[in-house]
């Protein structure tokens, strides 16, 4: 009997709308974007600049203190931040669209 009451209680709790339902996840927005909306891994810095224009900001390079730590360049565009190693794209991170959106923190400046 206790298991049945517990199961019904859980079903009732899970069925109630919570604030998490209203949140916009950055992952969901990223999946909706067409593939051509951001640079791809391996693309050169020159290709990125030719296709997307000059970045809003070029952040100071990070890394390079040791031989095994490569220098990482970061370019900030309105919708995403591009990370380069040796002038090749290694990652692209979408920027938050609004303060309510759940996603990565902004890049360290």
Bridge partner residues of 84 (DSSP): 73, 89
Residue 71 has pLDDT above 50, yes or no: yes
What integer pLDDT is reported at residue 19 of this predicted model? 44
Rounded Cα distance, 84 and 72, in Å:
6
Give the pLDDT confidence of 6-63 residue by residue, as tens digits: 555 555 555 555 444 455 566 665 566 555 688 999 999 999 999 999 999 999 999 9
Residue 106 has pLDDT above 80, yes or no: no
Choose between 105 and 14: higher pLDDT: 105
Rounded Cα distance, 70 and 54, in Å:
23
Give the CATH number of domain 24-109: 3.30.1450
Q: How confident is the model at residue 107 (pLDDT cuts 50, 70, 90)?
A: low
What integer pLDDT is reported at residue 85 of this predicted model? 96
Contacts of 106 (CB under 8 A, 6+ apart): 95, 96
What integer pLDDT is reported at residue 29 of this predicted model? 59
Rounded Cα distance, 17 and 3, in Å:
24
At 69, list the tokens. 């730590």
Choose between 84 and 101: higher pLDDT: 84
């Amino acid at each position: 009997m206790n298991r049945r009451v517990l199961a019904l209680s859980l079903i009732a709790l899970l069925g109630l709308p919570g604030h998490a339902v209203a949140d916009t996840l950055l992952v969901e927005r990223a999946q909706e974007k067409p593939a051509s909306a951001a640079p791809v891994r391996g693309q050169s810095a020159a290709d990125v600049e030719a296709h997307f224009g000059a970045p809003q900001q070029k952040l100071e390079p990070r890394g390079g203190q040791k031989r095994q730590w490569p220098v990482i360049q970061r370019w900030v565009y309105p919708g995403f931040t591009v990370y380069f190693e040796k002038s090749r794209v290694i990652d692209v991170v979408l920027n938050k669209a609004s303060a309510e959106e759940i996603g990565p923190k902004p890049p360290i400046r």
